[in-house]
Amino acid sequence: MRPQEYLLACISCGETYPYNEIVYRCRRCGDLLEARIEGGEVFRLDSLQGRVHSIWRYRELLPSFFTRIVSLGEGYTKLLKAERLAELIGVRELYVKLEGLNPTGSFKDRGMSVGVSMACTLGARSVVCASTGNTSASLAAYAARAGLECRVYVPEGKIALGKLFQARMFGARIHQVAGSFDDALKLVMEKSGGEAYILNSVNPWRIEGQKTAAFELWEQMGGETDYVVVLPVGNSGNISAYWKGFRELLNHGLIDSAPRLVGVQAAGASPIVEMLSRGLDRLPDWPNPDTIATAIRIGRPINWKKGVRAIKESGGTAVRVSDEEILQALRLLATTEGIATEPAGAAPIAGVKRLVDEGWLGREDKVICIATGNMLKDTSEVLVAWNQPQKH
Ligand SMILES: Cc1ncc(COP(=O)(O)O)c(C=O)c1O
Ligand SMILES: [Zn+2]
């Protein structure tokens, strides 16, 4: 078998680039890039036993060319069965993946381990990102671990305090942008390239790390894929990463069929749902995204093409839920199962309820919800209001 080789390929025109070229978008057509592996071996379910408890247990499908791996033990997060909630919502089985258990409290750590390892391998001295909060917390930690300088751009006054605190704690330079996340990302993409290595999810190496969550579901469910996976969608990097992971399992013959993927957006920031429900072929404009789930307050998802492809190719769907439904779902999950997450992480539970009401999901379905972030990061005003001492 020939050794593993990676390259970058454009998802539209197929143009390829060497893996070690710093390029975020296709130079020929401007579209998104993805990392592709050619050759090499793959793991099997029984060859994983005894391996490290992190994303790096799936090393055959991760880059093997890194000069240094920057890790904080990310991945290998718990998958809990939620029997009471399944019964209440009306599905056969419900599982919740606790991505808030990652080192900085969100799934972003999977992608940052690979992304920052790439930064080191390329010889970068500094890294940069725009963020709704979790990306900045994660990048700041991995940059500190690697000894790199880190700058983060966040929408002023619009990110959760806990996340800002993390970025600060890990020593990042924080730039508050007067505008939305979309403005902050535009600024980073237009101004930062060249000086610093960009680690938003437009960077295909982030997706390589995040795809390991699909391998984990496969492993944790004993090699089965007879379930629907439900995720919150902002930039739609994560849902594309899950799809890439499942596609790789398919290509290697490790599964016969992939699960359907469902994307859940907050009603005030739901351009992908709008696009799919109206049968548009482009993302509609969404100038003022707004939701209590700050992590997914995104109007111009940079990875929308990959996200839409993941939803369509997997036979899934996209659904929007109101802030009220998100808060109810958050509380329901917490009070029936003792599992809590940040508001964006509860959007999938709200989405499942919706889809059961609409008949898209029902008593025969097995569902996995991805609780993407830790409960202690985003305790916004509405949540704080719950915590007022009760009068007796
Ligand atoms: C907690 C949480 N959930 C979901 C998302 C959305 O992920 P993506 O932007 O990859 O769609 C984010 C992104 O910031 C997040 O922080
Ligand atoms: Zn192209």
Is the pLDDT at 129 greater than 80? The verdict is: yes
- Using most ligand atoms within 8 A of CB, pick from 99, 283, 372, 374 the residue to mutate for ligand 1: 372
pTM across the whole model:
0.97
Q: What is the pLDDT of residue 391?
A: 65
Give the single-character DSSP code of 381: H
Q: Whose CA is nearest to atom 13 of ligand 1?
A: 295
Q: Which CATH class is domain 108-204?
A: alpha beta
**Planar angle of CA 161, 164, 169, nearest 5 degrees:** 120
Distance (Å) from CA 6 to ligand 2 centroid: 17
Q: What is the pLDDT of residue 380?
A: 77
Q: For ligand 1, what atom is nearest to the CA of residue 298?
A: 9
CB-based pocket (< 6 A), ligand 1: 106, 132, 134-135, 201, 232-238, 295-296, 342, 344-345, 372-373
Summarize pLDDT for 294-315 with one digit per residue, the tens: 999 999 999 999 999 999 999 9
Distance (Å) from CA 105 to ligand 1 centroid: 12
Distance (Å) from CA 296 to ligand 1 centroid: 6
Report residue 244's pLDDT band, with 50, 70 and 90 as the boundaries.
very high
Q: For ligand 1, what atom is nearest to the CA of residue 132?
A: 14
Tokens (6 digits) for 262 = 């469902």
- In order of 77, 209, 338, the CA distances from 54 in angstroms are 8, 11, 25
| CA pair distance 249, 312, nearest whole angstrom | 18
How far separated are the first and last CA of the chain, in Å rounded? 72
Is the pLDDT at 245 greater than 90? The verdict is: yes
Q: For ligand 1, what atom is nearest to the CA of residue 233?
A: 11
Mean per-residue pLDDT for 35-45? 94
Beta bridge partners of 93: 366
Whether 307 contacts 275, CB under 8 Å? no
Mean pLDDT of the chain: 96
- Using most ligand atoms within 8 A of CB, pick from 107, 129, 265 the residue to mutate for ligand 1: 107
Distance (Å) from CA 232 to ligand 1 centroid: 7
Q: Where are the beta strands (DSSP E) in the chain?
A: 5-10, 16-18, 33-38, 79-81, 93-98, 126-130, 149-155, 173-177, 197-198, 228-232, 260-266, 317-321, 366-371
Summarize pLDDT for 310-365 with one digit per residue, the tens: 999 999 999 999 999 999 999 999 999 999 999 999 999 999 999 999 999 999 99
Ordered DSSP codes for 53-88? SSGGGGGGGS-S--S----S------EEE-HHHHHH
Summarize pLDDT for 58-69 with one digit per residue, the tens: 999 999 999 999
Say which ligand is closest to the CA of 29.
Answer: 2
CB atoms inside a 10 Å sphere around CB 360: 17
Distance (Å) from CA 163 to ligand 1 centroid: 13
- Residue 220's nearest CA partner among 36, 110, 370, 85 is 370
One CATH from 3.90.1170.50, 1.10.760.10, 3.20.20.70, 3.40.50.1100 for 79-102+206-384: 3.40.50.1100
Summarize pLDDT for 143-174 with one digit per residue, the tens: 999 999 999 999 999 899 999 999 999 999 99
Q: Whose CA is nearest to atom 12 of ligand 1?
A: 295
Report residue 135's pLDDT band, with 50, 70 and 90 as the boundaries.
very high
Q: What is the pLDDT of residue 2?
A: 81
